[in-house]
Chain A
């Protein structure tokens, strides 16, 4: 017992660096509940790892800022966790709970959402995609749940289909593909919002897995009259499209 405990204690470092195998991580977390000194050590080592992280900071892609900030209001936030009994009453008094019924969901939209969810489920069944974040799923769900959401599917010149769900009210679209060919590592599919004046704004990359499906991409700042386009660009993307789009989809008002 004590030997085993001692062994487990040695894992604090690997745990703080997320370097345990999955089974060990679960076991170690159970152990943490019973070992205050381990928990204390993990805390300090976590802070240390954070210093290693902060030292890697680089300037993020500039378009990421607008995208994240635009997506946040459409992502429902988690309520506070239940505190212990002593604190609970006081906390409750101070914090207003967000209303659950703030967004009315009509039957028509539910049907549309169900159709798209089916599309997602059928397309994104690989293990990798099961790891998709809930955050991005909820941003996507917000577009799907928009009362004015419309779904459009257009064939791509390279083969396969590009599907977009567009909410003109939210100025957002969710774009995904089916059976679009994968690209060599040196190339990416870049997604653009193109305006009537001929300008194009990059909104991200469509990553196609080896099975031909893509993870859905959220495009923000989509206005009526804009078009969504995808071009093949060098890895890392470009500031403006440099090739003929493999697909162009008008965004209907």
Chain B
């Protein structure tokens, strides 16, 4: 209760402990802890590669971008601020942006084929991670709670890597409508998945 004004703030991540909590691990990584980086790699390589692959499709390119993202985690770990979000949100935001940058820079030169469906869920050479099954079930269940338009819009924007005007065009929905559908859909997903932030 009565905290002394001079009490030192423990801050994110004590020197000892740490454990497997990704936020603590990132704090250690920021100090150049290579063993912590290995653990971070093992926690996030699957989701990072999976997400990038989902957006880019091309395996070679996805591997390249995933590697860049994971090294970027190492490089910029000091910029992770646990007060502003979870470790997974920080890493996955970085991964998604990288994939999107790649998509959009390529679109500038070559027209990418626009498809309504996000393509095959998984292909033979891509094995699901066991612990992902639960995440996947929950996401699927919560997506099913959305209106078809909301679900399609969110999926095309996130997994498809399209801008909301492109999503609007693909779904034949006016701009003003599509941005509210994306927002409403995400809010519903947030509530369904009980995201506490």
A residues apposed to B, CB below 8 Å: 10-14, 16-21, 43-61, 64-65, 67-69, 71-73, 75-81, 87, 90-91, 95, 98, 126-128, 130-131, 133-136, 138-139, 188, 204-205, 207, 210, 215, 235-237
Contact = CB atoms under 8 A, between A and B. Distances in A.
B197 A47 contact: yes
A46 B64 CA distance: 24
B169 interface: no
A52 B109 CA distance: 29
A212 B46 CA distance: 32
B47 A67 contact: no
Nearest to A51: B193
Interface in B126-140: 126-129, 131-132, 135-136, 138-140
B187 to A, nearest CB: 7
B105 A131 contact: yes
Interface of B: 8-9, 11, 30-32, 34, 37-38, 41, 45-51, 53-54, 58-61, 63-64, 66-72, 74-79, 84-86, 88-89, 92-93, 95-98, 100-102, 105-106, 108-110, 122, 125-129, 131-132, 135-136, 138-140, 154, 157-159, 161-165, 167, 179-180, 182-187, 189-190, 193, 195, 197
5 contacts: A10-B183, A18-B97, A131-B102, A136-B71, A210-B110
B151 to A, nearest CB: 11
Contacts of A13: 154, 179, 182-187
A64 B49 contact: yes
Contact of A75 (B71, B125, B126, B187): B71
A235 B60 contact: yes
A133 B136 CA distance: 30
A44 B109 contact: no
B95 A53 contact: yes
A49 B92 contact: yes
Contact of B164 (A19, A60, A81, A207): A19
A182 to B, nearest CB: 12
Given A44-B195, A57-B47, A236-B59, A19 B163 contact: yes
Contacts of B30: 77, 80
A69 B67 CA distance: 10
A81 B81 CA distance: 10
Contacts of B67: 64, 67-68, 71, 136
Given A90-B9, A133-B98, 20 more contacts: A14-B182, A19-B163, A48-B193, A49-B93, A50-B88, A51-B139, A52-B154, A52-B159, A53-B158, A55-B132, A59-B127, A60-B50, A65-B41, A80-B79, A95-B31, A127-B108, A133-B68, A135-B71, A135-B74, A236-B125
